[in-house]
Structure 1
Amino acid sequence: MDMGQGSSGGISMMSMMTPWLHFNSSSDTLLLQSWQPKSSGAIAGACIGLVVVCLLERWLSGIRAVMEAYWRNRILVITGTEKKNESSEASSEKCCASGPVIDSVEEQSSKPLRTTTFSRTLPPFILTHDIPRGLLYAVQALLGYILMLSVMTFQAAYIISIILGMGAGEMLFGRMGNIGGHGILH
């Protein structure tokens, strides 16, 4: 495989990419062949665009977390698991509110054994939940690949913008994922 010559008149593929961190704008292609920011203003505009992509990616991550919690609650309502859990908690509180009950050996042996019910380990496939889940994930993956390809240019200004954009996005939207989790508002 000859990497020395491309199809466009002998241009070397390796000469178009600087494989180390740099700030110069001589030959950095950002995502598309026609998008080669060369001036300082064009690079600044590309950096602002990358920050916006980072903010959008972190926002989608937060939206996905909120929607996952919503879908999880909807599944509990649809399958009726929520009512079973509430009734078993209420009966255990009612039983044990007056203190521990100690049965004699004769009473324990005459009681029937408890039957164990198993709950689902995998939520059911619900089209109205799973299509949006897949679409949100696909868009988030697309944005992640856009950011990855931008980092692969080794343009230090792009990398700094992406790091700052991801940090700002996490500050703004990172709490959205902790609504039903182990956050303060649990």
Structure 2
Amino acid sequence: MSGMSSMSMVFTTAHNTPLYSKAWTPTSTGAYAGTCIFLIVLAVLSRLLQAWRHTLEQKFHDRAIKRRYVRVAGEQEADQFPDESPEAAKEKNEQAILSYRGVDEKVRVIKASSRGRETTPWRFTTDLPRACIYTVQAGLGYLLMLAVMTLNVGYFLSVLAGLFVGELAIGRYASPVDDHH
């Protein structure tokens, strides 16, 4: 036990607790207050990113559902929609598309199925922004976690205050089941 570090495992109210590095050690009450304000803004930004990501996910999903596929008439309906009722397939076959040459019964436009929660195909325009936003969101979460792990009461309360303000301001746009850091 004599080899353990001297890190305190209790909450502290010291105004000179380093944040993220020894270079970021508040040396005055004003610097400490500025650090706490920074943590509040960081936590609000974390909630903002979560809400933005949820909004983008909804747009990505809506775009995938509304995406249209051209199908040449004559293909077997059962091949494309094996679990569909014969009445619904017949109704779809009776539809035609109006082209610049008039009614074209050989080509139809169908929407992607919205049944269940099907996996959409990988798309660069969807999955790259999703991955970038998630990475930044996770990074902010880890920075907030590191601030809380200093066991400084002011830092801890600042993170909680920022999350509260962020949730109060924009929480209605975030998914209720998203992960909390």
TM-score bracket for the superposition, by shorter chain length: 0.5 to 0.7
**Residue among 2, 14, 18 paired with 1:29:** 18
Q: What's the Cα RMSD here?
A: 2.7
- Encode CA deviations 1:80-125: one digit per residue, 9 max, x unaligned: 5xxx9xxx6xx8xxxxxxxxxxxxxxxxxxxxxxxxx996721111
Corresponding residue for residue 133 of structure 2: 136
Cα separation, 2, equivalents of 1:25 and 1:162: 16
Letter in structure 2 aligned against 1:42: A
Structure 1 unaligned blocks of 5 or more: 5-12, 92-116, 182-186
Letter in structure 1 aligned against 2:149: M
How much does 1:42 deviate? 1.2
Correspondences of 1:79-94 after superposition (within 5 Å): none
How much does 1:151 deviate? 0.4
Asked if 1:163 is matched to 2:152, the reply is no
Q: Percent identity?
A: 34
Task: Please state whether the residue corresponding to 1:51 is helix, strand or coil.
Answer: helix
Question: Relative to structure 1, is the Cα distance of residues 133 and 3 closer, same or farther in structure 2, using a 3 angstrom cutoff?
Answer: farther
Asked if 1:18 is matched to 2:11, the reply is no
Letter in structure 1 aligned against 2:10: W
Structure 2 unaligned blocks of 5 or more: 70-80, 82-87, 92-112, 177-181
How much does 1:23 deviate? 0.6
Cα separation, 1, equivalents of 2:8 and 2:147: 13
How much does 1:173 deviate? 1.1
Correspondences of 1:117-128 after superposition (within 5 Å): 121-128=118-125
Question: Which protein shows a greater Rg?
Answer: 1
Corresponding residue for residue 67 of structure 1: 56
How much does 1:176 deviate? 1.2
Correspondences of 1:31-50 after superposition (within 5 Å): 31-50=20-39
Q: How many pairs were matched up?
A: 135
Cα separation, 2, equivalents of 1:79 and 1:167: 41
Letter in structure 2 aligned against 1:52: V
How much does 1:79 deviate? 5.1
Q: Which has the higher helix share?
A: 1
**Contact preservation (8 Å) 2:40, 2:161:** yes
Question: Relative to structure 1, is the Cα distance of residues 20 and 174 closer, same or farther in structure 2, using a 3 angstrom cutoff?
Answer: same
Give TM-score scaled by structure 2 length.
Answer: 0.66
**Contact preservation (8 Å) 2:19, 2:25:** yes
Letter in structure 1 aligned against 2:159: I
Correspondences of 1:170-181 after superposition (within 5 Å): 170-177=167-174
How much does 1:22 deviate? 1.2
**Contact preservation (8 Å) 2:65, 2:114:** no
Asked if 1:56 is matched to 2:56, the reply is no
